[in-house]
Each structure stands twice: as structure tokens, then as C-alpha cells.
Amino acid sequence: MKRGYSESSSIEVQSQPRSFLDSNFLEDESTKIFARKVADHYSARTNQTLEEREASPIIHLKKLNNWIKSVLIQLYARRGDAVLDLACGKGGDLIKWDKAKIGYYVGIDIAEGSIEDCRTRYNGDADHHQRRKKFTFPARLICGDCYEVQLDKALADDAPFDICSCQFALHYSWSTEARARRALANVSALLRPGGTFIGTMPDANVIIKKLREANGSIFSLLKAYSLEIVSTGFDEEFLEKKFKSSSPFGIKYKFHLEDAADCPEWIVPFHVFKSLVEEYDMELIFVKNSHEFVHEYMKRPEYVELMRRLGALGDGNQYQSTLSQDEWEVAYLYLSFVLRKRGQPDRTQPNGRRDKGKMHISKEDMLNIEH
Ligand SMILES: C[S@@+](CC[C@H](N)C(=O)[O-])C[C@H]1O[C@@H](n2cnc3c(N)ncnc32)[C@H](O)[C@@H]1O
């Protein structure tokens, strides 16, 4: 299927990113403040009851995003895999990993409140609507900043991982080149050769296209869409719609999606991302905007059935609500990617990582990592 936007709508960043890094991996104070803002925002989001969740104005969008993540996991996870879930949040993907029959799970998130919710969900202590049975894989949960801490040290005994997942979160690393590099260096160092990195994040091409289409100096998706659930605004320096080729990092915008996010985010120009991952020994398998993803995988009966079960598009019952046009437009703001770590897998290498995992995680088992 054709992408709904042309290559020419991509950010005009001409040069190749051999290294934009003019300083080193250290951060300045404002970067830390933004990282804290993001953490506090997610930490403060409380668990919803099933009724609250179903009443959300974006419930079908959430279900659609869950379908996309489930398809990615079903496509790439294998029985017994060791999984690293970067920015795992409240553990919303634990059930998906369980269905894939993985062998070990490590989840990391910067938001203390979210990782604690993940712990109770994993233990089965959460609201009875959220969990029904124990998970079948041992797990470890860590609170930390995945885009700042050198994770291969902290996870030396857990690595290598077969699969790394970073869902709706990698764009938080794009505030500086140092953080973007740390994120990719972490993934690369922890994946085994031939291992897979799957993820979802905002589609910079679409966001920039919307910016260009918007008349007037203030970009707002409210102008582009008829909905009130999403709005975004660029920082003043970017309102002129100019982006310096020398700095494709730190392009900040404020993103508000009702019942989902309300914090600073950063544009990830995909061609810069692609060249950077190559520096870290990973190659692109595919990138698809969510619209293209849905069209492609809805051709497969098993994923049509999964969509029906998750209820994103209704279940064919005429009384059942379905994804609204507005929610479909918001879905267009995101893409999915799959990368592979270069090299041949070494099946002979012994690995004791599973010993570190627990089937029940107490507060004392949780690791808090500072850089
Ligand atoms: C939109 S939520 C997605 C959560 C989860 N991946 C999912 O799909 O359900 C974004 C998550 O990224 C986390 N996050 C943002 N910056 C982070 C960082 N520097 N290190 C670790 N986690 C981070 C937030 O705390 C939040 O839980």
C-alpha cells in the first residue's frame, strides 16, 4: 500500500549523521528536567478500572495500538525468548509476551509509579479486571532512565536478549544526540547477534507534513483534525518550520492526547534514526506507518481475528462502537519499525540470565539504577 505522504514531506535535514555529537554523553540540567517531567507525567497516571478504560474517548485507538503491538510480538517473538522491554510502563504488554510463551522478561521504566504498577500486574495483585492468572515467565523489573544509563553494565548477567521492544517511547530519547545514542548503544549492546528490536513511535514525516499544511504560525493538530482529543505545538524556534540540518535532535513539541499523554516529545527524523542504528550494528527490516501496518496485516486472517477479539474495529455487531475517523487520523501519527542486530547467533553460548528473574517480585527485588 502506498504511504499517505511523500518523501518530500520529510524533515529537511540534508547531511549524513556520522556524528552530530559536539560534546559527549553527558547531559545538561535542562535535559534532566525534561526527562523528569516525562517521568512525573507517567508516574502520576493512575490505573484505570475496566469501566473507566471503556469510557475513554480514545478507547478504540488504544485497542488498535494494542493490536499493532500484539502483531509485532507475534511476528518476531519465539518460544523461550529473553525479552528486554525498554520503557515498559505499567506492563501493558505482559499478557502479549505471555501469549508468545517467552522464557524471560526484563522491564525498565523511568517512572516509579508505572514500574510499581507493572510489578503488581506481574504478580497478579492488580485489579481483578486486569489479571486472571500468573505469568509463565520469570521477570525482573528496574526503575531507571534507559536513555542515560549504560544498561549493559546493569544487565551484564541478564544479557544477551533475543528481542528488545520499545513501544511508544523511543522518541523521548531524541531530546539530545547523546540520549539518542545511549538508547541505541544500550539496545545494540544487549541484543544477541541476529536479535530483533521492535518498536513504535511518532512518524516524523506525518507530523512535519501536518506542520507544513497548517496555515498560520502556530501548528496545532486541532487545526488539522476535527477532534479535540489531540493537540500539539512546536517550540517557538521551530514555528518558522525550519530545522537546522546540523541538529536533527532536540526538536521539541508539546503533545497532548486526551487520556494518554501530556508532556514534551521530540521529533525523530526517520532517515537520521536509520543511519544512526547502522552505526550501532543494526539494520532496518521494515518501517510502516500505522495506516500501512493495518492495511497490510489485516490481509491475514489470524490478525483479523485478533482485531475482532481486541475490539478496536468493533466485532461486526452493528451495536458495537468502532474506531472513529478522528482516532484513525491520530493513528496516522505513528509508525512501527523492526531492526535486526547484525551477526550470526551463537547458540552454544551458555546463559544464566533466567536465574536472576523471579516468579513473584517483591519491592525489595526491584532495582533502581542511577547513572
Ligand atoms: C506511552 S508510554 C508507553 C508504555 C509502554 N511501552 C506501552 O506501550 O504500554 C511511554 C513510557 O515511556 C517511559 N519513558 C519515557 N522516558 C523514559 C526514559 N528515559 N527511560 C525509561 N522510560 C522512559 C514513560 O515513563 C512511559 O512509561
**Closest C-alpha to ligand 1, atom 13:** 87
Cell 478496536 belongs to residue: 312
Element at 192 (helix H, strand E): strand 191-202
| Rounded CA separation 270/369 (Å) | 30
pLDDT band at 82 (very low <50, low <70, confident <90, very high): very high
> Could you tell which of 42, 73, 182 is best to mutate to test the pocket of ligand 1, judged by most ligand atoms within 8 Å of the CB?
42
Whole-number average pLDDT of the chain: 82
- Per-residue pLDDT at 112 exceeds 60: yes
Q: In angstroms, what is the span from residue 179 Cα to ligand 1's centroid?
A: 14
- Per-residue pLDDT at 263 exceeds 50: yes
pLDDT band at 350 (very low <50, low <70, confident <90, very high): low
Task: Give residue 231's pLDDT.
Answer: 56
Each residue's pLDDT tens digit, 324-341: 888 888 899 999 999 999
> Cα Rg for the chain, rounded, in angstroms?
20
- Per-residue pLDDT at 346 exceeds 50: yes
115 C-beta closer than 6 A to ligand 1:
no
Does the annotation list 215 as a binding residue?
no
202 C-beta closer than 6 A to ligand 1:
no
Task: Give residue 271's pLDDT.
Answer: 94
- Per-residue pLDDT at 174 exceeds 90: yes
Q: In angstroms, what is the span from residue 90 Cα to ligand 1's centroid?
A: 9
Q: In a 3-state reduction of DSSP, which class is residue 144?
A: strand
Q: Domain 27-344+352-369 carries which CATH code?
A: 3.40.50.150
Q: In angstroms, what is the span from residue 166 Cα to ligand 1's centroid?
A: 8
Q: In a 3-state reduction of DSSP, which class is residue 289?
A: strand
172 C-beta closer than 6 A to ligand 1:
yes
Residue 283 dihedral angles phi and psi, to the nearest 5°:
-125, 150
Task: Give residue 133's pLDDT.
Answer: 66
Question: Which DSSP letter does residue 49 get?
Answer: P
Domain boundaries, the chain: 27-344+352-369
Task: Give residue 370's pLDDT.
Answer: 76
Which of the pair, 219 or 202, is modelled with greater confidence?
202
42 C-beta closer than 6 A to ligand 1:
yes
Which of the pair, 314 or 62, is modelled with greater confidence?
62
Task: Give residue 12's pLDDT.
Answer: 37
Helices (H), 108-176: 112-123, 151-154
- Per-residue pLDDT at 77 exceeds 70: yes
ω before 160 within 30° of 0 (cis)? Answer: yes
Sheet holding 191-202, edge to edge: 282-289, 334-341, 191-202, 161-167, 82-86, 104-109, 139-144, 367-369
| Rounded CA separation 223/178 (Å) | 34
Does the annotation list 259 as a binding residue?
no
Task: Give residue 1's pLDDT.
Answer: 33
Which of the pair, 20 or 62, is modelled with greater confidence?
62
In this structure, are strands 261-266 and 282-289 parallel, antiparallel, or unpaired?
unpaired
Q: Is 91 exposed, middle or buried (0-12, 13-18, 19+ CB in 10 A)?
A: buried
| Rounded CA separation 70/22 (Å) | 39
Task: Give residue 49's pLDDT.
Answer: 80
**Closest C-alpha to ligand 1, atom 9:** 92
Helices 59-76 and 301-310: angle between axes, nearest 10 degrees: 140
Q: What's this model's pTM, rounded to 2 decimal places?
A: 0.88
Paired with 253 in beta bridges are 234, 265
- Per-residue pLDDT at 356 exceeds 80: no
Task: Give residue 245's pLDDT.
Answer: 62
| Rounded CA separation 66/53 (Å) | 13
92 C-beta closer than 6 A to ligand 1:
yes
Task: Give residue 216's pLDDT.
Answer: 37
Q: In angstroms, what is the span from residue 202 Cα to ligand 1's centroid?
A: 13
> Could you tell which of 33, 121, 145, 168 is best to mutate to test the pocket of ligand 1, judged by most ligand atoms within 8 Å of the CB?
168
pLDDT band at 23 (very low <50, low <70, confident <90, very high): very low
Paired with 358 in beta bridges are 139
